[in-house]
Amino acid sequence: MERKLVSPVVIDDIQPIAGADLIEVATVKGWKLVVKKNEFKVGDHAVYCEIDSFLPVREEFEFLRKSSYRKMGEQEGFRLKTMKLRGQISQGLLLPVSLLQGYTYQIGEDVSARLGIIKYEPPMPAALGGIAKGLFPSFMLKTDEERIQNLSGQYEAFRQHTFYVTEKLDGSSVTFYLNEGVFGVCSRNLDLEETADNSFWKVARAERIEEKLASLGKNIAIQGELIGEGVQGNAYGLRGQTVRFFNAFDIDRYEYLALDEFKAFIASLALQTVPILDLQYTLPASLDELLTMADGVSVLSPQGKAVEREGLVIRSTDRKISFKVISNKFLLNER
């Protein structure tokens, strides 16, 4: 599912912030946002910009300059990050619908292009960027789990299911595939040419992934997180680079392998999965409780050092439901 960075929403709730006279906290779907007191009321329509939105330099966004000015390559703009104001977590930005200048919108519609807002992409080391052979292939799915806040309307229904939980690692997403005899390596969005200095391809060769997939005699893809030296600051203190896998995708059936089949499959290739934290998990009573549970220490923390984990990925064993829960502690410290 492509992420909707900016969309018209209905304000679900507004509550005071203890000790704050000028601001209050609004709830939109499952997100909490600090807003000016009396700027919105429950039931109002507003334009919600998610964290990681990169707003253009325009007069109506200049109030963000002090807190959010960034450059993305040569492009200037304002990046929205998780913040804490008067002790209250705030994730994103609410804007008046008047910014849409009379456009007839639908609630939930993606209006990012209309406002010139794009996703902020941090600088990528050259060894991870690579040379694009093409876009991410259409014969398999991208690795892009939805955040639980955007699924808050389904939370009560989800509580009837049993899930398994994995740690979301702070690395770089990679997909290896073998389709109709052709082996390929993809970053999150691109199919990459093989070059001597590309980290994804170097790991593929070091782990003999092409040979391992070819031995299966089927069209298959495996997806994981590249971690280690040169990747996101190497929080886990690893030497070299490695991949921990979280998906196996049957290209012919166009579906992910269910949990037991996935674990056995990755083990048969002498590869490793991401840390699996719970195999029989049911969701807590509230979304706020789940967000608190996302905070914690990474299983891959180096000896003598506690590394905050990025969060959790929660999936049903049949792979019909999946979402990510990002740690607010991690987001507050994000680079």
Tokens of 164: 């398994």
- Beta sheet of 311-316, edge-to-edge order: 276-281, 163-168, 311-316, 322-326
Q: Which of 69, 103, 119 is where one domain is finished?
A: 119
Average of pLDDT values for 179-192?
A: 95
Task: Kindly state whether residues 264 and 167 are assigned to the same domain.
Answer: yes
Residue 250 forms part of a structural domain: yes
**Domain range enclosing 161:** 126-332
Task: Write out pLDDT tens, residues 261-306.
Answer: 999 999 999 999 999 999 999 999 999 999 999 999 999 999 889 9
Task: Kindly state whether residues 280 and 172 are assigned to the same domain.
Answer: yes
Please report the DSSP string for 289-333 in residue order.
HHHHHH--B-TTPPTT--PBP-EEEEEETTSS-EEEEE-HHHHHT
Residue 1 forms part of a structural domain: no
Task: Write out pLDDT tens, residues 296-313.
Answer: 999 999 988 999 999 999
Average of pLDDT values for 102-114?
A: 95
Give the CATH number, domain containing residue 272.
Answer: 3.30.470.30
Task: Kindly state whether residues 301 and 266 are assigned to the same domain.
Answer: yes
Q: Which of 62, 87, 119 is where one domain is finished?
A: 119
Residue 311 forms part of a structural domain: yes
Task: Kindly state whether residues 44 and 136 are assigned to the same domain.
Answer: no
Task: Kindly state whether residues 89 and 226 are assigned to the same domain.
Answer: no
Tokens of 78: 């304002």
Q: Which of 101, 119, 137 is where one domain is finished?
A: 119
Task: Kindly state whether residues 50 and 194 are assigned to the same domain.
Answer: no
Task: Kindly state whether residues 167 and 311 are assigned to the same domain.
Answer: yes
User: Do the beta carbons of residue 48 and residue 27 sit within 8 Å?
Assistant: no
Going by the DSSP 8-state scheme, the letter that residue 158 receives in this structure is H
- Amino acid identity of residue 115, one-letter, is L
Residue 31 forms part of a structural domain: yes
Residue 27: strand pairing partners: 13, 32
Task: Kindly state whether residues 94 and 231 are assigned to the same domain.
Answer: no
Rounded-to-integer distance, Cα 299 and Cα 8, Å? 38
The overall average pLDDT reported for the chain is 94
Task: Kindly state whether residues 111 and 250 are assigned to the same domain.
Answer: no
What is the pLDDT, as a whole number, of residue 335? 66
Task: Kindly state whether residues 17 and 146 are assigned to the same domain.
Answer: no
Tokens of 6: 């900016």
Domains identified in the chain, total number: 2
Average of pLDDT values for 225-236?
A: 94
pLDDT at 1 over 60: no
Residue 322 forms part of a structural domain: yes
